[in-house]
Amino acid sequence: MQVFHSAEEIRQYRDYNRQQGLSLGFVPTMGALHEAHLALSRRAQAENNLAVVSIFVNPTQFNNPEDLERYPRRSEADLALLRRAGMDAVLMPSVSEIYGDQVKSEDLDLAGLDQGMEGEYRPGHFAGVATVIRRFFELLQPTRAYFGEKDYQQLRVIEHLNHSLKLGVSVVGCPTERNAQGLALSSRNFRLSEQGLRDAEAIYRAEDWARSQWGKLSPQAIKEGVWQALAASPLRPEYLEIADTRNMQSIEAAAAGQKARIFVAAYCEEVRLIDNLSLL
C-alpha cells in the first residue's frame, strides 16, 4: 500500500495510472476509520482497478475550533486497517499541502443545498467540505468517489459541486452502515461511553417510528413526536427536519414525487451526532 503525503506525489500517481488506463475509486475520510469506511472502501475496490482512501481532518469544515481539536485521530490504527483491507494507496497530506498558507474556504455556489440543517447549525461547514473535495478531485481525478448517505446533505452538496464545476467524477452514494441496534457508525462514537452508545440508539428508534408514521400523520406531527421522544431521552436534540432530498427543503405537507427523509442532529454526552433515514 502506497502512502502519499504531498500533492506532487498524488499528481504523479494519478498521471501514471491514467497512462496505464486504470480506473480509480476514491474514498475521502477524516480518519478514525470504522466498518462504514471499510464498506465504502470495499465498494471502491470492487468497482475500480485501484482503490484510494484519503485521511485528512479538514480544518475549514469545522465551525467550532474545539470540535476540530477533539476530533479523534488515530492514523497508525487507520493505516493498519487499510493495509489489511488491501487498499492500493492512502493520501495523508498536511494542511499546507492542501491549502498552502491560506487555510480558508472558497466561495462556491452550492445551489442552496448547503442552507438548512447542517448548513444552518454549522455555518461555513459545507463551504469547507466543498473546498477540500474539489481540491482532492482535481488532484487525484478519480473515476468514481464514494460518499455515505449518513451525511446525506454532504452527498447532495458534492453531487451538485461535481456537476456544476464539471469535475468529471462519478459520485456514488452508499447506504448508511448501522450497528445491530440501528445506531449509525461514526468516528464520533469513539468518544461515547458504553452508556452513551446505548443512549444514542434513541436516534434510530425515533427515525424508525417516523418512517412508520409517514403517510399517516402530518410531517409536523411526526416531527413533534420525534422531538418529544428525543427530548425525553438522555439526548439533547439540536434540529429535526423532514426534507425533500432533491432540494433539501423542508416538507410541510406530503405530496407525490417527494423523496422524503428525516434528518436529526442531537448531542449525546456532549458529542454531536447526526443521522437520517428515508421515509419512503
Closer to ligand AMP by Cβ: residue 143 or 187: 187
- Interface of this chain with ligand AMP, residues 17 to 36, rule: CB under 6 A: 29-30, 36
Stretch of 111-119, 162-170, 183-191, 256-264 contacting ligand AMP, by CB under 6 A: 183-191
Q: Which of 17, 54, 153, 187 binds ligand AMP (CB under 6 A)?
A: 187
Residue number closest to ligand AMP, CB atom: 148
Number of residues that bind ligand AMP (CB under 6 A): 16
Cell numbers linked to 257: 414525487
- Is residue 185 a contact point for ligand AMP (CB under 6 A)? yes
Is residue 229 left, alpha or beta, with left meaning phi > 0 and alpha meaning psi from -120 to 50? Answer: alpha
Closest distance of CB 18 from ligand AMP, Å: 24
Binding flag, residue 125, ligand AMP (CB under 6 A)? no
Catalytic residues: 37
Of residues 151, 199, 207, 241, which one binds ligand AMP by CB under 6 A?
151
CB 158 within 8 A of CB 130: yes
Q: Does 40 bind ligand AMP (CB under 6 A)?
A: yes
Among 26, 126, 137, 147, binds ligand AMP (CB under 6 A): 147
d(CA 218, CA 254): 7
CB of 184 to ligand AMP, least distance (A): 4
Which residue in the set 42, 122, 144, 150 belongs to the binding site for ligand AMP (CB under 6 A)? 150
Q: Which of 17, 24, 37, 251 binds ligand AMP (CB under 6 A)?
A: 37
Q: Is 156 in the site for ligand AMP (CB under 6 A)?
A: no
Judged by beta carbon, residue 114 or residue 223, the one nearer ligand AMP is 114
Positions in the binding site for ligand AMP (CB under 6 A): 29-30, 36-37, 40, 147-148, 150-151, 174, 176-177, 184-187
